[in-house]
Every structure is written in structure tokens, then in C-alpha cells.
């Protein structure tokens, strides 16, 4: 079982806030933050725990919606090619603005 604690996000999120309140984050940084088991992909469980850890309501429902919108190949995971599909979800639920790696 994967466990998140809100404090583990605080050092990453707080220092980089933009004037609009969002946090810019590369795809690599986003994956590193949310891929708790470090298998290279984000599962529904990892997404659910991230929503809960960030103080979000209805984490199970939100994680299902996020996974459904991002998981284009239907394998139940969000892999490297699909993480960019989480841009709207990350902005809405985490205040994270995913930017493309340079």
C-alpha cells in the first residue's frame, strides 16, 4: 500500500508558486512527485492518494476521472506518453501547471 502525507508535497510546492498561485512543474518533476512506487507510471491508487494528500475532496472519484481522461491506451496506468494528458487535471486539483521538458 502506498501512503502519502501532505507534508511530503510541501517542500516541492511552496517555493515555486507563480503570481497566479499555480506551481510550474516539468513532466519529469510531476511524475517524480506522484509516482510513489517509482515504476515509471502513475496508477489510479497513486493519483487518489495524491488528491487526498493535497487535501482534495472525493479523491476516488477525481482519480477515476483523471485516469480516464489521461489513460489513452486503456492499460489502467498513466505512463510517460500520457502524463501530458493530465495538464487540466493537475491544474484544477493540485494547482500545478505542467510544462513541457526542455
Measured CA to CA, the distance from residue 102 to residue 95 in angstroms comes to: 21
Kindly report, residue by residue over 60-81, the tens digit of the pLDDT.
999 999 999 999 999 999 998 8
Partners of 25 in beta bridges = 98
Q: What is the pLDDT of residue 102?
A: 52
Domains, the chain, ordered by start: 20-99 (1.10.238.10)
pTM: 0.73
Measured CA to CA, the distance from residue 61 to residue 101 in angstroms comes to: 29
| 84 exposure class (CB count in 10 Å sphere: 0-12, 13-18, 19+) | middle
Q: Which of 17-21, 32-36, 37-41 is most confident? A: 37-41
Amino acid at each position: 500500500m502506498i501512503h502519502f502525507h501532505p507534508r511530503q508535497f510541501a517542500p516541492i510546492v511552496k517555493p515555486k508558486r507563480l503570481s497566479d498561485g499555480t506551481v510550474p512543474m516539468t513532466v519529469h518533476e510531476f511524475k517524480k512527485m506522484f509516482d510513489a512506487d517509482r515504476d515509471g507510471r502513475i496508477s489510479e491508487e497513486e493519483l487518489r492518494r495524491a488528491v487526498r494528500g493535497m487535501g482534495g475532496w472525493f479523491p476516488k472519484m477525481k482519480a477515476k476521472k483523471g485516469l480516464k481522461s489521461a489513460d489513452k491506451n486503456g492499460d489502467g496506468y498513466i505512463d510517460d506518453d500520457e502524463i501530458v494528458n493530465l495538464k487540466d487535471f493537475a491544474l484544477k486539483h493540485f494547482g500545478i501547471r505542467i510544462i513541457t521538458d526542455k
